[in-house]
Amino acid sequence: MENKFPVKKVMDDEGNFVDNSYEKAINTELVWKLYYHMHRIRSFDRKAINLQRQGRIGTYAPFEGQEASQVGSALVFEEDDWIFPTYRDHGATLTFGADMVETLLYWNGRVEGSLPSKSKNIFPPAVPIASQIPHAVGASWGEKRKGNSNIAIAYFGDGATSEGDFHEGLNFASVFQTPTIFFNQNNGYAISVPIEKQMNSKTIAQKALGYDIPSKRVDGNDCFSVYFETKKAVDRARKGKGPSLIEAVTWRKGAHTTADDPSKYRPENQGKNIIDPITRLERFMKNYGYWQEEKVSAMQKDIITELETAVKEMEAYKHSSVEDLFDHVYSELPAHLTEQKVNYFEHIRGV
């Protein structure tokens, strides 16, 4: 089955073309846009890990190593499209236009960071595995019924493909031919479970066959391959030709979350030979005359300034209220919780 779903590449690990048919489609604007966003979200990711270690935000889910998959896909979408992320896809949402301060507030456990984006069609991050997939199908079906050309993308990991929501979502999308992109980032592990222990399929792409949905496997560390294959799927969806599934084969360098220790379940040298997606793009830029040292330096300074400003704004928010624990769970607070709330505030007032 792997032979039927080869991993699509545009450039190799050294940043050289392996498919020259894309040479004319790659220009200075696209190269620098990909590089900027990949660098920006990695800087965010590393900053967030540092903030968590300092106790300034809560448990955090890193994504370093998956920048090409998230940026390469998110850059394809238009203003009024929909993104349905997992808890690890804030790189994609930031690329699409999510507010950085709101993203930090989410990881700080704030209500303000858990609301739908004010400026974009970005669903709040889904922590339950695969629950966002039927939501994405529903949103895209709604757009189709309205006669709009807007589409939706659902991001998910390899473990999500073993959940019922994945299969229900694909089945519904297939039956109603919804303009949905199912975007899988296959980093080889569902938390601590290696992919070969949570599914017997040789690929994730082949799972779309049962629903008559076209699917592709791409090198998830090749930003060009991700970008152009996603663009094909998006163009197809906008033309009313239905959903697609993309399996981006990638590698997450770090832990599942900052509360995790991957050394307990991943062999020490696993992934050591995988070329970093940003390094790979840098090699391409140097090989084909796109690299500009001064421009890179200025870009890095701008990103650092943006990050530091966002952190200051996040930390300047007034302290959250304990009332949030009571007020945002039920439409009508049950009597026993009402009593707890009253007792708590009487206690802190010393009544």
Query: pLDDT digits over 291-334, tens only?
Result: 999 999 999 999 999 999 999 999 999 887 777 778 878 889 99
Mean pLDDT of 30-56: 98
CA 107 to CA 59: how far, in whole Å?
Answer: 7
**pLDDT band at residue 351, thresholds of 50, 70 and 90?**
low
Residues 189 and 338 both lie in one domain: no
pLDDT tens for residues 76-91?
Answer: 999 999 999 999 999 9
Phi, psi values for residue 84, rounded to 5°:
-120, 95
Containing domain of residue 212, as a range? Answer: 2-319
Sign of torsion, CA 303 304 307 309? negative
Asked whether residue 263 falls in the same domain as residue 326, the answer is no
Same domain, 232 and 350: no
The CATH code of the domain that includes 253 is: 3.40.50.970
Pair 23, 50 in one domain? yes
As a whole number, mean pLDDT of residues 285-295 equals: 97
Q: Dihedral of CA 45/47/52/57: which sign?
A: negative
- Among 37, 90, 256, 283, the active-site one is 256
Q: In this structure, how many other beta carbons lie within 10 angstroms of the beta carbon of residue 61? A: 22
Do 214 and 328 belong together in one domain?
Answer: no
336 is catalytic: no
Q: How far apart are CA 210 and CA 117, in angstroms?
A: 34
Question: Is 110 a known active-site residue?
Answer: no
Is 252 catalytic? The answer is yes
256 and 345 fall within a common domain? no
Residue of 22, 36, 265, 288 marked catalytic: 265
Task: Measure the CA angle with vertex 103, ends 99 and 106; round to 5°.
Answer: 140
**End-to-end Cα distance, the chain:** 70
**231, 267: one domain:** yes
- Indicate if 277 and 346 belong to the same structural domain: no
Indicate if the alpha-carbon torsion angle 211, 217, 218, 220 is positive or negative: positive
- The least confident of 69-78, 153-162, 180-189, 338-347 is 338-347
Residues 227 and 348 in one domain: no
**Total number of domains constituting the chain:** 2
333 shares a domain with 189? no
- 313 and 327 in a single domain? The answer is no
Catalytic choice (252, 280, 283, 290): 252
**pTM across the whole model:** 0.93
Same-domain pairing of 280 and 336: no
Task: Identify whether the C-beta of residue 151 lies closer than 8 Å to the C-beta of residue 238.
Answer: yes
